Amino acid sequence: MFNIGDRVVYPMHGAGIIEAVETQEVLGEKQQYYVMRLPIGDMKVMIPLNNVEEIGLRQVIDAEEVEKVYHILKGEKTKMSQNWNRRYRANMDKIKSGDIFEVAEVVRNLSIRDREKGLSTGERKMLDTARQILVSELVLAQDTTEEAVEETLSRLLG
């Protein structure tokens, strides 16, 4: 159970702050929802309380874990399939996992691949999505701005 004011991560959407718990009636059934504000894009998301574990909602990482993310971003590219379809599916699974370290790996690997060979439209979109998810969590984890995190990422990723 999360509380109002908690900083949480919603896999595939990014990090945000729980602003309220509301009861809504959907298809004649009353259900409770977390109302989460995503600072990037200023979007609000409603998450059913009874689906929280299934969805993979989790707390934002701490300072120690931020350092681990930066360490991953500075690391070497890990082996990826040469087959575009397999590589895309593997990366999508990592993003969907909601694991910040796997998302960081996708950002690093696709950024390196982009510099070396360029990316297809699909992989470029995937990189943008993964990067946005990563940035949203780092902004909340470090209590900083989107610009500051983007600057750090650009420096680390070359």
Exposed e or buried b per residue across 125-155, where buried means at least 16 C-beta atoms within 10 angstroms of its C-beta: ebbebbbbbbbbbbbbbeeeeeeebeebbee
CATH number attached to the domain at 7-59: 2.40.10.170
The stretch 118-147 carries a mean pLDDT of 95
Return the pLDDT at 157. Answer: 93
- Residue-wise pLDDT tens digits, 11-53: 989 999 999 999 999 889 999 999 999 987 788 999 999 989 9
Contacts of 57 (CB under 8 A, 6+ apart): 2, 8, 9, 10, 11, 34, 47
- Residue-wise pLDDT tens digits, 55-64: 999 999 999 9
- Residue-wise pLDDT tens digits, 142-157: 999 999 999 999 999 9
Domain boundaries, the chain: 7-59, 63-157
Return the pLDDT at 121. Answer: 95
Q: Which CATH architecture has domain 63-157?
A: Up-down Bundle (1.20)
Confidence band (pLDDT; 50, 70, 90) for 6?
very high
pLDDT of 131 strictly over 80: yes
The pTM of the full predicted model, rounded to 2 decimals, is: 0.91
Return the pLDDT at 40. Answer: 78
